[in-house]
Amino acid sequence: MTAIITFANQKGGVGKTTCTINVAAAFALKLTWQSPDKPGRVLVIDMDSQCNTVVTFSTGVFGTRDFEVPDQALEDYLLQRTAAPLWDAIVTSEIPTNANRNLDFIFSTRGGMKQVEKDFSRQRLVDDSYIAASEDLHFLTGNSSLADGGKDEVVYRLADMLAEVSSHYELIFIDTGPKESMLTTAAFAAATHLIVPLEMQGYSSLGFEDNLDLVREVQRNWNPHIQLIGILPMRVVPNSVTHTDMIRMYEEKYPGLTLPPIAHRMSVQDSANAGLDVFSYKPPRRVGSLVSSDPATIEFAKVVARISSVLKL
């Protein structure tokens, strides 16, 4: 079965998008090296309505890459307003530049995904029958795409859609936005595995315990089979005593669930601003090793090795 890995954290700005882009790129490179002519494929899905991941893979953040907009977009399928095969929204990315065009993404737009978010949360309100108690009944009158949706149906729409394409991929990665978004809930419902990028900030801020609660909530409500690969300490300052202590604390308390940390480095931001993953920005020195002159590639390589060992790849 294809592993579907969702990156999620209750907090914004912790590095979910950065992890999704770079881990997906690393696996695309590894699969290229394994079978250069016909490599296994990687699919990336952006369930954040900000669409930062899609922007990076399509045009680059400053729109410097040419990009032919496909006929369909993710939102069309999530809103069930197209009967076209999902392949019509799937695009092969130009990055990583050193892989053999084996990284695909599902195209989406901010406007479209915001609409999905809005419609999905209305559906939840309908399910919880809050709406019946309110005055706001206009969308129950038949012109809404949700009028005939069943309970929980929207939550499983992404999972159902992926069934059509997942066997063509070795790995599928899903980026998410805020926890409250129904898009994030749908990403949990579709995933086989979960990685929680986490900033090492003070014990009182939203930490691992909160995210463990999140995992339990996901297992209880939507997806009993989802497996936590671990937390991924992000933007760690190497000589910070607080960060080092916190990582040690996590390793002791949750052995095996703390992934190798990614340091806070300008090079990670530089590659993002160039619209590239770290492996395209500073290409690996030799085929078969992800390591380049950018130390971030060493760290992402360690994370990829741990994911591979958990997934038995």
Ligand X SMILES: Nc1ncnc2c1ncn2[C@@H]1O[C@H](COP(=O)(O)OP(=O)(O)O)[C@@H](O)[C@H]1O
**Positions in the binding site for Mg ion (CB under 5 A):** 16-17
Long-range pairs for 234-238: beta carbons < 8 A, 24 or more residues apart: 234/14, 234/15, 234/18, 234/19, 234/197, 234/198, 234/199, 234/261, 234/262, 235/14, 235/15, 235/199, 235/262, 235/263, 235/264, 236/200, 236/261, 236/262, 236/263, 236/264, 237/263, 237/264, 238/263
Sheet (strand 171-176) strand order: 90-92, 103-106, 42-47, 171-176, 3-7, 193-199, 227-234
Binding status of residue 6 toward ligand X by CB under 6 A: no
Nearer to Mg ion, 52 or 192 (CB): 52
| 170 neighbors 39 (Cβ within 8 angstroms) | no
What is the token pair recorded at 106?
């599902």
Nearer to Mg ion, 82 or 109 (CB): 109
Residue in the shown chain whose Cβ atom is closest to Mg ion? 17
Nearer to ligand X, 52 or 184 (CB): 52
| 45 neighbors 85 (Cβ within 8 angstroms) | no
Least separation, in Å, of the C-beta of 252 and Mg ion? 30
Least separation, in Å, of the C-beta of 56 and ligand X? 10
Binding status of residue 272 toward ligand X by CB under 6 A: yes
What is the token pair recorded at 21?
């882009």
Answer for which of 264, 277, 282, 290 binds ligand X (CB under 6 A) is 264
Answer with the entry of Mg ion, ligand X, none that 166 interacts with (C-beta below 5 to 8 A by kind).
none
Binding status of residue 30 toward ligand X by CB under 6 A: no
Backbone angles phi, psi at 46, to 5 degrees: -110, 105
Binding status of residue 243 toward ligand X by CB under 6 A: no
Distance, in Å, from the CA atom of 212 to the CA atom of 305, rounded to the nearest integer, reads: 23
Binding status of residue 265 toward ligand X by CB under 6 A: yes
For residue 266, how many other CB atoms are within 10 A of its CB? 9
Answer with the entry of ligand X, Mg ion, none that 92 interacts with (C-beta below 5 to 8 A by kind).
none
Binding status of residue 261 toward ligand X by CB under 6 A: no
| 300 neighbors 290 (Cβ within 8 angstroms) | yes
Show contacts with ligand X in window 87-126 (CB under 6 A): none
Binding status of residue 198 toward ligand X by CB under 6 A: no
Query: Taking every pair of C-alpha atoms in the chain, what is the biggest distance, in angstroms?
Result: 64
Which one of the spans 15-23, 108-116, 215-223, 302-310 is the region binding ligand X (CB under 6 A)?
Answer: 15-23
Answer for which of 122, 193, 235, 282 binds ligand X (CB under 6 A) is 235
Least separation, in Å, of the C-beta of 113 and ligand X? 14
Q: Is residue 92 helix, strand or coil?
A: strand
Answer for which of 12, 36, 85, 202 binds ligand X (CB under 6 A) is 12
Helices (H) and strands (E) in the chain, counts: 12, 7
Nearer to ligand X, 79 or 268 (CB): 268
Answer with the entry of ligand X, Mg ion, none that 149 interacts with (C-beta below 5 to 8 A by kind).
none
Answer for which of 4, 8, 16, 218 binds ligand X (CB under 6 A) is 16
